[in-house]
Chain A
């Protein structure tokens, strides 16, 4: 099982089961967890996070309902598939924060929207080119690091 670092903030205002759900999705969105990976057991996660095991059960059930993971009786919980784009609130939230910052600063500098968007596009393409170059240099595919 991959070492995952979950963290609960009981004062955040977000229900604890949502925090567990969001962090699991985050791991999947970032690629730290991929299809078939096993998630921590309910008992283990409840003990590690000092939370009611029923809360972990609720989080896992919701994740199963959303198709994010599968609970196999007697075996544990496993990531079932990659997340559809709309299911990743943490990613949307993070990008919208950065987008807001960009919008504020562009307005303060008096840059119009189309010009700002043009710059984002340029950066997007430049990043794609850089990634292609680095992938060519790599002799091993990144997934070989996965533990069996």
Chain B
């Protein structure tokens, strides 16, 4: 494998029907030991991208590689080093967690069956019950536990928290953290709607919209750069045409200008701060707010007028 990249794609493109591009010119590079979160609305192309990486779909153009290999063609033995849990994972319904543990363990050198028993018990699941008899949420937990316990070098999870209650979600988060502590070189690629969970665990994020990667960034860096800035002018009116550096969006009511800016540094607003008659304040933006801002920004620029179904739909949805 190449030393610096464990997941990469170049110009990765896939469409399912003419004019319906699911993934468009996706360029991604994820270093070993990184936790990368993929964000986007439903239908943004996240799952398709992950399936392309896993070699479950053939790209129309471009390439997708994991550990230096194109999984569409790679030897099956490579798969034991890569874990993947799809949104709707189908496990053999007649097998129990005991059977599955023994089966999966055969493909993984480091599989510790005793620890597998302990893990299943810790998650309050039954070793002997057939998977087919379990609830949807439990089947999901079973798939996640199998993938994580195998300790793969690369783990790809598509909406892992979907169908899990809040306790199970936190347990999952802790299990992933445990895995990272045991094997810091593990690369984790997760698509999710749970932005709060992602903020706890991800180092990098990618924001997808209609097949395109709008943005990929270090999470801390993104949060430190994106700020809400409020400028209060003397008098009753803000001057026309007023602009701040890195301004993405602006609203002005009377003398008060409120803007969302991507600032290059903490000194970007210095020239305004030094003007004594102005009152300049900055406020942090949560990852969710940043997501909405970047998303709305492209919505605004696109030809399609979807502005009306922008914020309300998302904030009323599953994003937290």
A residues with a Cβ closer than 8 A to B are: 8, 10-18, 43, 46-47, 49-55, 58
Contacts and interface: CB of A to CB of B under 8 A. Distances in A.
Question: What is the interface residue range for chain B against chain A?
Answer: 20 to 34
B203 interface: yes
Given A13-B223, A15-B223, A46-B177, A52 B203 contact: yes
A91 B248 CA distance: 31
Given A50-B170, A52-B35, A13 B284 contact: yes
Q: Give the residue among A8, A14, A15, A18 with the most B Cβ atoms within 10 A.
A: A15
Given A16-B220, A52-B35, 19 more contacts: A10-B197, A10-B200, A10-B287, A11-B287, A13-B285, A13-B287, A13-B289, A14-B284, A15-B219, A15-B220, A15-B224, A17-B220, A51-B177, A51-B200, A51-B201, A52-B200, A52-B202, A53-B181, A54-B180
Nearest to B35: A52
B13 to A, nearest CB: 32
A52 B286 contact: no
B196 interface: yes
Q: Give the residue among A17, A51, A52 with the most B Cβ atoms within 10 A.
A: A52
A55 B173 CA distance: 14
B318 interface: no
B258 to A, nearest CB: 15
Contacts of B201: 51-52
Contacts of A49: 200
B199 A47 contact: no
A51 B201 CA distance: 5
A42 B184 CA distance: 13
A70 B184 CA distance: 23
B199 A52 contact: no
Closest 7 CB pairs of A and B: A13-B284, A10-B199, A15-B220, A10-B196, A13-B286, A11-B286, A15-B223
Contact of A47 (B174, B184, B220, B288): B174
Contacts of B195: 10
Nearest to B171: A50
29 contacts: A10-B195, A10-B199, A10-B286, A10-B287, A11-B199, A11-B288, A12-B284, A13-B289, A14-B284, A15-B219, A15-B220, A15-B223, A16-B199, A17-B220, A43-B181, A46-B177, A47-B174, A47-B181, A50-B170, A51-B201, A52-B177, A52-B201, A52-B202, A52-B203, A53-B180, A53-B181, A54-B33, A54-B35, A54-B203
B158 to A, nearest CB: 20
B64 to A, nearest CB: 25
A55 B180 CA distance: 12
